[in-house]
């Protein structure tokens, strides 16, 4: 079982790019960090996930099976995270900033 959501981001990037280097660039991680994350994923899922074939990095059937669910889960988390942040900003603005009185602002600017 994968308990680190960052590992799912790595898997998603690897599936999208097919390259440790490109996945690292997409995630702003070094190739060695991506390789270490892939090692953790392999152990957690008990599958190699990707196999080196010549110069290509081919996903295993298990990796391909996970592509949709991982992508969907990350998209749902991102959507919910953005909604939460928006709500926090709106609540913070409502609590921290008293309602502005446009008349007073106009009077202050013309004085």
The model carries a pTM of 0.74
Please tell me the predicted confidence (pLDDT) of residue 89: 83
CA distance 56 to 37: 19
Please tell me the predicted confidence (pLDDT) of residue 2: 78
Please tell me the predicted confidence (pLDDT) of residue 103: 52
Please tell me the predicted confidence (pLDDT) of residue 95: 64
Q: Residues near 71 by Cβ (< 8 Å), separated by ≥ 6?
A: 12, 15
pLDDT means over runs of 10, the chain (111 residues): 89 95 96 97 96 89 96 93 86 64 50 52
């Amino acid at each position: 079982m994968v308990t680190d959501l960052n590992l799912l981001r790595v898997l998603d990037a690897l599936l999208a790019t097919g390259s440790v280097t490109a996945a690292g660039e997409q995630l702003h991680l070094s190739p060695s960090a991506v390789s270490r994350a892939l090692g953790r994923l392999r152990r957690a899922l008990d599958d190699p996930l990707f196999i080196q074939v010549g110069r290509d990095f081919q996903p295993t059937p298990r990796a391909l099976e996970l592509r949709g669910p991982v992508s969907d889960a990350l998209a749902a988390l991102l959507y919910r995270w953005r909604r939460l942040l928006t709500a926090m900003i709106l609540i913070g603005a409502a609590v921290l900033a008293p309602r502005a009185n446009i008349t007073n602002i106009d009077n202050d600017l013309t004085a």
